Amino acid sequence: MFKSKNLLFLMLLSAFVLILAACGSDEEGSSTTETDNGASSGEATTDAELDFEGTKFISILTGGTQGTYYPLGGTFADLITTDTGVKATAEVSQASAANMTSLANGDAEVAFVQTDIAYYATNGTLMFEGEAIDSVVALGALYPETVQLVTLADSGIKTFADLKGKKVSVGAPGSGTFANAEQLLEIHGLTMDDIQAQNLDFGESTDGIQSGQIDAAFITAGYPTGAVEALNATNGVYIVPVEADKAEELIAKYPYYAVDNIPSGTYGLESDIPAVSVGAMLAVKKDLPEDLVYAMTKAIYDNTDKISHAKGAFIKAESGLDGIGIDVHPGAQRYFDEVK
C-alpha cells in the first residue's frame, strides 16, 4: 500500500512538472512568434524596417558646387539622415533638366528642380518635347530662384539692349538657365542670334567674366549665389535689372515667373535691383514609399531653423505647395495636410 501511494505521488509530480515545462515553452515561444508585419512581437522595430520598404540609402541631386542647390542639398541630406535613419547623400549634378531625366531613369531618388522645368518635363514641352516624364512628382516648394544677369560694374552693360553682339553665358542647352535666358531675351526683343551665346556653368561663367573671356552671364539661383559672391570679392559686379513693364509682359506669357527684387547690399550693390524669379522645389520618384517621403518632408520642413544658408528663411511648411505645377507625392501631401 505504501509503495502504491509513493508510486501515485511520483506519477502526479511528474505530470505537474511536464505541465509547468509546457507552459514555460508556450511563454517562451510567444516572445519570438512573428506578428503580421513580419517582426517579432517582443522586439523593437524601427519605422525604416516597417514603412520604408527596405530603403537604406537615397541620393539627392543638386547642381554645381558654386550654386545654391549644392550647399542646401548637404543640409537636407544631414536632416534626412538624422531623422529617418536612411543615409542621404547630396550629389553634384547638371541641375534642373538633367535632374528630371536622372530621376526618371532611376539614377537617384530626390532632386532639386526649377518649378518651370518640372512643368515642362511632366507636360513634354520645350526641352522635353515628345518625352514627357510621368514618373516624377513633387516633394515641396523651397524658395525663389532669381534670374540674375551678371556682369562687371565697369563693363558698360546696363540694359538688355547692351547685350547685342556681346559674349554671354546662357547655361547649357536644355538647362533651366538656358530657358530663362531665351525667354528674357525674347521679352526684350532679342534672340540667341543677337548675342555670342556661351554654354557655361555658374563657376565657368564667373571665371569667364573675371578673365574677360565673356561679358555677362545668366545665372538662375537663389541669391546670394556663391559663384557671384566670389566674383564680387575680386571685381565689383552689376546685375542688369528687369524693369516692371518687362516683368509683367514676361509673366503674362510665362505665368510660372514672379516679380522679384535683389536687395541693396547683396554682392555689394548700392541699390535694389528689380528682377524676376522662378521657384526652386524638390522632386522625387513617384514610386518611393509614402512613409519615407512623409518622413523626409517632415525632416526638412520641421527643421528649417537648422538651415544656415540665407535661403533657409524662405523655406516654410505653410508655403510648401506654393507654385507647384505638378502632382505632389502622397507622402508629402500627407505632411502638408497635417501642418495646415
Query: Residue 195 has which C-alpha cell?
Result: 548675342
In a domain, residue 35? The reply is: no
**Same domain assignment for residues 286 and 252:** no
Contact between 227 and 235 under an 8 Å Cβ cutoff? The reply is: no
Q: Residue 304 to residues 72, 292, 301, 311, 328: CA-CA distances in angstroms?
A: 11, 19, 6, 10, 20
Asked whether residue 31 carries a pLDDT value surpassing 90, the answer given is no
Q: For residue 186, what are the contacts with CB-CB under 8 A and spacing of at least 6?
A: none
Which residue stretches of 212-289 are H helix? 226-234, 244-253
Helix (H) or strand (E) holding 116: helix 115-123
In a domain, residue 12? The reply is: no
Best mean pLDDT range from 20-29, 65-74, 77-86, 168-177: 77-86
Structural domains in the chain (count) = 2
Best mean pLDDT range from 222-231, 249-258, 278-287: 278-287
Asked whether residue 133 carries a pLDDT value surpassing 60, the answer given is yes
Write down the pLDDT at residue 14: 52
**Same domain assignment for residues 236 and 153:** yes
Asked whether residue 13 carries a pLDDT value surpassing 80, the answer given is no
Q: Residue 144 to residues 68, 147, 183, 196, 197: CA-CA distances in angstroms?
A: 11, 9, 17, 28, 25
In a domain, residue 163? The reply is: yes
Residue type, 273: I
For residue 333, with 0-12 CB atoms within 10 Å meaning exposed, 13-18 middle and 19 or more buried, which class applies? buried
Asked whether residue 8 carries a pLDDT value surpassing 70, the answer given is no
Least confident of 6-20, 192-206, 253-267: 6-20
Q: What is the pTM of this model?
A: 0.75
**Same domain assignment for residues 162 and 97:** no
Residues 295, 96, 267, 271: what is their CA dihedral angle, to the nearest 10 degrees? -100
In a domain, residue 246? The reply is: yes
Asked whether residue 125 carries a pLDDT value surpassing 50, the answer given is yes
Over residues 184-212, mean pLDDT: 96
In a domain, residue 284? The reply is: yes
Contact between 289 and 125 under an 8 Å Cβ cutoff? The reply is: no
Task: Give the end of a domain, one of 247, 278, 309.
Answer: 278
In a domain, residue 9? The reply is: no
Cα–Cα distance for residue pair 199/202, rounded to 1 Å: 10
Full residue range of the structural domain in which residue 86 is found: 53-144+280-338
CA 201, 205, 211, 212 torsion-angle sign: positive
Task: Give the end of a domain, one of 229, 253, 278.
Answer: 278
Over residues 1-10, mean pLDDT: 45
Asked whether residue 107 carries a pLDDT value surpassing 70, the answer given is yes
CATH of the domain at 178: 3.40.190.10
